[in-house]
Structures are given as C-alpha cells and as structure tokens.
Structure 1
Amino acid sequence: MSSQLFDAIDNLSSEKGIDKEVLLEALEAALISAYKKNFQSASNVRVELNEATGKMSVYSRKTVVEEVEDSQLEISLDEARKLDPNYELEDTIELEVTPKDFGRIAAQAAKQVVTQRVREAERGVIFSEYIDREEDVMTGIIQREDPRFVYVNLGKIEAKLAEAEQMPTEEYNIHDRLKVFVTKVENTSKGPQIYVSRSHPGLLKRLFEMEVPEIFDGVVEIKSVAREAGDRSKLSVYAANPEIDPVGSCVGQRGQRVQAIVDELKGEKIDIVEWSEDPKVYVSNALSPSKVVDVIVNEEEKATTVIVPDYQLSLAIGKRGQNARLAAKLTGWKIDIKSESEAREEGLLTEAEDTYSEEVEDLFE
C-alpha cells in the first residue's frame, strides 16, 4: 500500500474538516470488503494499516478446534501448534493472507466506499455546525424557488422557506439577501435539512436581541411576542431596574432601533409595550395605542372586560379586530372591549371612573 493513500487521507481530513480516524475506519472497511469480493473469501479477516511505512496487511482469523469443519474459519489444534506450541482449543489465531497485488485491487474497490463515507462525514459536519443554530437568525441569499419552497443559501447548505413560513406582503427574488429564523434542523437519509421562517414570532424576538444591546445583555427582557407577519406585531418588555425604560431602550434614539427592524420586515408595524404582572396594567398597555378607562379582571376564566372611551372603540379593536386579537395573544388573557356607553348601560362604570373618563376626553378635545 503506497504512502500516497495516507497522504490523500491527510489532505481529505484537512480540506473537509473530517476526523482522520473516521476516514481510516472507512478505508479499513473498504479493504476488507475488497478482499472478500476479489478472493472469494468468507473468512473473518482484519486489515492492519501502518501509516509510518505505508504498508497494508490482511490477516485471517481462525478458531483452534479439534476437528475442522470450515477451513476458512477454523484451524486444527495440530496445525496451530506447528505455528506456536502454546495454542489451545478455542484460541483465535491470525494468519497473514495479504495477496501480492492486493494494493492495486484494494485501492480501486476502496475508492467508492471511501467516497461514500466522506460524503456521510461531510453531512455530519454540516449537521453539527447548524444544529446549534436552531431558533436563531441567519442571513442568507435566495438561490431559487419552486411551487413549495424558496431556497435560501446559508453558506454550506440551502435552507427551505416554505410558503406557510413566508410573509404574505413580501416578494422573494433570486439573489435577494434576507434574515431568516431557523425553525428546524434535521439529519435525513438525503443529508441535513434546514427549515427557516420569515413569519415566526421568534424572528422578531431575535432581531430585537441583535439590535438592542440592553436585551442582549439581559438588562431588558422580552416577555412575549404576538405577530401577524407583514402587517403588525406587539412586543412586551420588562426591566427589573426601575431606572431603565424598557420601551425606550427598544425604540432607540429618534426611533432608530425599532426602525431598523421595521425596515428588515418590509414595513411591518411594531407596538412595543411595557409588561406588568398586574393584568389590569398589562392588558391596558397591550391595547396601545388606544386609551383605556378601566379593566375588569376575571381571574378564574383568565378573561378581562376592557372599557374604552367611545371615540377610542374602533382604535382599541383595530382593523378587522387586529389590535384586540394581538393584545390577547400577547397577554394570554381573553379581552372583551366595551365602549363607555355600553359600560354605563351595563353598570360596569363607577362614578370615579366616569369622572376620570370625562377628564381624559377633555384632554383630547
């Protein structure tokens, strides 16, 4: 066996980032297969590779028995003791059976098997590299598309962006660069498969982590995200330190931070509200930008009745109910919105709340 083969393995290991031992094991398996195929041997054989000398040896393993029934697998005690008088019954003996021209035959037979193992090892390396990127944001370039997927090149692999994970307001053109959220990485018989999303709420969360240092550092915490991709999203944030404004941190000076995310999401509107453990405050904040007169909480059913000024009713509900729907998703509370007029008729407003509401209305007149 020429040392050139070992040099080739060294080069493959370096170029492909594959463990050298994996390649040597593949080579051994290929050589054993080649020996059995070319020399019609069914015997139990072992291949020994010597990198220092570049030599390859094939050994046939046989069991020492009293009476031989299969000469390929067994050797008689008498024959064994001619080789070494210390052999006993049931011992295993190894006999070198390396053919003179085996190197050439083995190299040819090994090529296909080694190539296959290299491909498998490469897939393993790629899978190991990307499995840690699940639920993370990556930047890719659109390569192609078919009726089912848009294919995004992430460097060493193409990710699949399914139609259901696309933003309905977005066009995907070849060579466009975009950020995607990695939803799943799996190892299949066809190699690693990566699935990404542009509509997942996790994309919005990760974009804020990338854009807002206070979130990345853990000073400001994202509590919840509700998203209708391409149209509108709501994000609730919290800071344990009362001196830190979590909403202001996310918005940034002159709105630069949130605007960068809006631009990445092609104009998707984003409401950032402050989280509170008090459901009255939290639900009220979540219905931003509408004003709220009162929030009546039903703890058992985790439901709220929200009273808003009459002139704010349509704003609180939102177009096609979107504002109320997103607020409910964000908070995890059911939200029933009523105007002040309805609330008065149903006796839900107290005099104090009525007076407060009139003062609020005066501010807007």
Structure 2
Amino acid sequence: MNSDFLEALTTLEEDKGIEKEIVLEAIEAALISAYKRNFSQAPNVRVDINRDNGEIKVFARKQVVEEVFDPRMEISVEASREYSVHYGLDDVVEIEVTPKNFGRIAAQTAKQVVTQRVREAERGIIYSEFIDREEDIMTGIVQRQDHRFIYVDLGKVEAILPQSEQMPNETYQHNDRIKSFITKVEKTTKGPQIMISRTHPGLLKRLFELEVPEIYDGTVEVRSVAREAGDRSKISVHAEDPEVDPVGSCVGQRGQRVQAIVNELKGEKIDIVHFSNNPVNYVGNALSPSNVLDVQVDEEEKSTLVIVPDYQLSLAIGKRGQNARLAAKLTGWKIDIKSYSEAEEQGLYDPATARVPGEPETASAGDEDWDVEEDLGDERWDSEPVEEKEE
C-alpha cells in the first residue's frame, strides 16, 4: 500500500461520499483478522496505516508483568526496558511484528474492504433516494417474472411487484413500460428492497396529479379515493375557489385528461365526484348515476339511509353491489339503499320532509358508451360509489 492508494481513497470520498478515515479504520480492522488468520501469532495486535505514505505496520501488544506465563500476551519488566526505560508493571508494550510478505495480504484485504464499502455506500445512496419516493409514482420496465413476483427496473434498482398487487385485467411482458406506486422501501442485507403496486388507490391519485395541473399546484384537491383495481374507481375532488370546476378540471378538454389515466390503467372505469361537506349532497353525488329521492343521515352511527325510485334500485346498488360499495368507501359513510315502495311501506319515506341532494356533480370515464365530446350534463356521464345495500 502506498500514497497512490491514499489518493484513490480521497477520490473515492469525493465521488461516492465515503469518508476516507472510515475506510482506513475498516482496513485496519480487516488486517488484524487477516494477520491472526494467516500467521497464528499474538492474538492481541494492532495494525497502523500511516496516513501520509500508506505504510502498514503490525504491532503485538504485550502487558508488562513480574512473571511471564504467556509470552504471546506478556512481557517481563526487564525485557520491556529494552524498548523503553519508562515501562513499568501493567503498562502495554507495542512490538512491531510486521511479516515480510504482509504487503500482498494487505493489498487483497484493502481491495475487499474498499469494494464492500463502495457497495454499502451505493446501497445507502439508493435507499436514501427511494425512501423519499415512498408513496410516489415511478415508471419502470418489466424485466422478468416468476410465480410470485414481477421484477421491474426503476433505473438504479429492481423493484418487486407482488402477485397480490397486480391488476387482474393486465398481462405483463418483457420490456413493458408501466407506472407503479411505491408502497414500501426496506433495507436488507442485499440492498434496498422496493415494493410496488398497480392496485393501490394511491396510484390513481398520483396519476391525476400527473395529468391535472390544477391538482399538482393545489388549486384542486383530491379528498378521497375508492378503488377496485381493474374494474372501477371513484375519486372525489374539491376546489376552494368557487370559480374553479374541480370535476371539469379532472376531465379535461374533450375528456383527454381522464382518458389518458383510463388508458394507463388498461380500461379501468373512473368516476370523478364533487366533494361536499354536506353528507346529503356527498352521498347523493357518490351514488350517481341513480336518482336519489331522500338521504336520511344518522350522525352518531355515521350512516345514511338512501331512498331511490323502484326502477333505479339495481342501478344505485350496482353490479355485485359495486356502486354502493364504492360510494361508502369514498364518502366514509355507511349506506343503506331502499326502494321507494319498500321505504313507503315501512314508513321511512315522507316526500314532504325528504332531503333531496342537489344536482349530482360527477363525470365518468371508461364506459363503452362514454363519449368525450359530450357535456358533463349528458346522462351518459355517470359516477359510482362504494357500499352495498344491507340485506
């Protein structure tokens, strides 16, 4: 080891951010192990690397005693005086024992330590970068897959897409470019492990932030997301400025913004709902496209009873209860849906006291009959909710 090696460590410190002194200390510790392993000499040794010229020396450390029982660990008072007249009982004497061929072992050990430190530093840098991207969206390239995972290249690291986080309507081929949501970043012995998802509701929110500048700059706020990945999703939006139309902003001109997200999610239907602090309006909006005759609110139970026309009961509940289920997830309110005749028979509906929500403010994309050229008032613009009818 020479001064060139020290200069290389200085360069490494500048390029990789690995402190030179930390590397030298690690090399010294590794050389102690190498010395004991290769020479079977004194178990108590110290290795010193000269910080100016890189010269390496090995010292055996012996304690000064009156009577020597283990020559490898102890030295008599008389013998210690050969090194210095100042040594006394219980002092530690350091005697140089550097082997002649220790330079080769030192070079190999230094290389291994530096390589390991560089690898650890790079892993640390990657971890630091991706821990800040947790709950963010990234574009990656599908590399390979097995029966449990799909491995996606994110540039500096390979992320893992578990089977449970894959959309049921998607197939993934080698070199496919996909956007995914980073759910977890963990440190492991093999480096940082990045877990990603295509089904997480956060993916939908991040996609809207990418496509809708008003959401990115805070003009429009995403208040809630409910998602059944691969089939249908619901997102509620709100704008403090009354001059801003949050639903229209998300839809975009001729539906281009929302349609781009639908395409990214391989045809997943997306409903955009206007948020309201009034549960009557909010639940009514969320249950669109069905007409709502009455919304009865129980604040204590945080539940609602919704009355709909008889012919729209199945529309309000949705296929396999999806419309009501998504509405409940989106609004955070339990939703029980009853038809007009059933509610009237049970004495639950009185037209005179009915709380009818305002005109639903929603838009939907992804349905086969959806036309991007239609106005938001067109009946084909529907939005869907989140809880099922209680049997």
State the TM bucket, normalised to the shorter chain: 0.7 to 0.9
1:182-206 deviations in whole A, cap 9, x for unaligned?
Answer: 1112122333221111011111111
CA distance in 1, matches of 2:61, 2:316: 82
TM-score (norm 2): 0.82
CA distance in 2, matches of 1:304, 1:175: 48
Structure 1 residues 87 and 328 mapped into 2: Cα distance closer, same or farther (>3 Å)? same
What is residue 26 of structure 1 aligned with on the other side? 26
What is residue 228 of structure 1 aligned with on the other side? 228
CA distance in 1, matches of 2:21, 2:128: 17
Report the alpha carbon displacement of residue 249 of structure 1 after superposing the two structures with TM. 2.6
Give the partner amino acid of 2:55: K
CA distance in 2, matches of 1:209, 1:258: 11
Give the partner amino acid of 1:169: N
More displaced stretch, 163-172 vs 3-12: 3-12
Give the partner amino acid of 2:180: V
Q: Does 1:159 align with 2:156?
A: no
Structure number with higher relative contact order (C-alpha < 8 Å, ≥ 6 residues apart): 2
What is residue 273 of structure 2 aligned with on the other side? 273
Report the alpha carbon displacement of residue 83 of structure 1 after superposing the two structures with TM. 2.8
What is residue 137 of structure 2 aligned with on the other side? 137
Q: Which runs of 5 or more structure 2 residues have no equivalent in the other structure?
A: 361-378, 380-391
TM-score (norm 1): 0.88
What is residue 108 of structure 1 aligned with on the other side? 108
CA distance in 1, matches of 2:130, 2:80: 54
Structure 1 residues 247 and 65 mapped into 2: Cα distance closer, same or farther (>3 Å)? farther
Report the alpha carbon displacement of residue 162 of structure 1 after superposing the two structures with TM. 1.1
Which has the larger share of helix? 1
What is residue 195 of structure 1 aligned with on the other side? 195
Give the partner amino acid of 1:162: P
User: Secondary structure at the residue paired with 1:106?
Assistant: helix
Structure 1 residues 5 and 308 mapped into 2: Cα distance closer, same or farther (>3 Å)? same
Give the partner amino acid of 2:203: L
Report the alpha carbon displacement of residue 231 of structure 1 after superposing the two structures with TM. 1.1
Give the partner amino acid of 2:293: V
8 A contact 1:34–1:110 mirrored in 2: no
8 A contact 2:140–2:153 mirrored in 1: yes
Aligned length: 359
- 1:35-74 pair list within 5 angstroms: 35-74=35-74
CA distance in 2, matches of 1:144, 1:282: 44
8 A contact 1:271–1:288 mirrored in 2: no
More displaced stretch, 144-153 vs 331-340: 331-340
More displaced stretch, 65-74 vs 4-13: 4-13
Report the alpha carbon displacement of residue 21 of structure 1 after superposing the two structures with TM. 4.2
What is residue 289 of structure 1 aligned with on the other side? 289
Q: Which runs of 5 or more structure 1 residues have no equivalent in the other structure?
A: none
CA distance in 1, matches of 2:42, 2:221: 65
- 1:1-365 pair list within 5 angstroms: 1-10=1-10, 18-352=18-352
More displaced stretch, 202-211 vs 122-131: 122-131
Report the alpha carbon displacement of residue 291 of structure 1 after superposing the two structures with TM. 2.4
Give the partner amino acid of 2:325: R
User: Secondary structure at the residue paired with 1:107?
Assistant: helix
User: Secondary structure at the residue paired with 1:257?
Assistant: helix
More displaced stretch, 293-302 vs 85-94: 85-94
Structure 1 residues 90 and 132 mapped into 2: Cα distance closer, same or farther (>3 Å)? farther
8 A contact 1:18–1:122 mirrored in 2: no
What is residue 387 of structure 2 aligned with on the other side? none
8 A contact 1:30–1:114 mirrored in 2: no
Structure 1 residues 10 and 296 mapped into 2: Cα distance closer, same or farther (>3 Å)? same
Structure 1 residues 208 and 91 mapped into 2: Cα distance closer, same or farther (>3 Å)? farther
CA distance in 2, matches of 1:80, 1:173: 74
CA distance in 1, matches of 2:42, 2:193: 39
CA distance in 2, matches of 1:25, 1:67: 34
Structure 1 residues 198 and 68 mapped into 2: Cα distance closer, same or farther (>3 Å)? same
Structure 1 residues 36 and 337 mapped into 2: Cα distance closer, same or farther (>3 Å)? same
More displaced stretch, 237-246 vs 255-264: 237-246
Report the alpha carbon displacement of residue 98 of structure 1 after superposing the two structures with TM. 2.2
CA distance in 1, matches of 2:126, 2:307: 55
8 A contact 2:280–2:355 mirrored in 1: no
1:66-90 deviations in whole A, cap 9, x for unaligned?
Answer: 3333333333334334433333433
More displaced stretch, 313-322 vs 57-66: 57-66
User: Secondary structure at the residue paired with 1:343?
Assistant: helix
User: Secondary structure at the residue paired with 1:185?
Assistant: strand
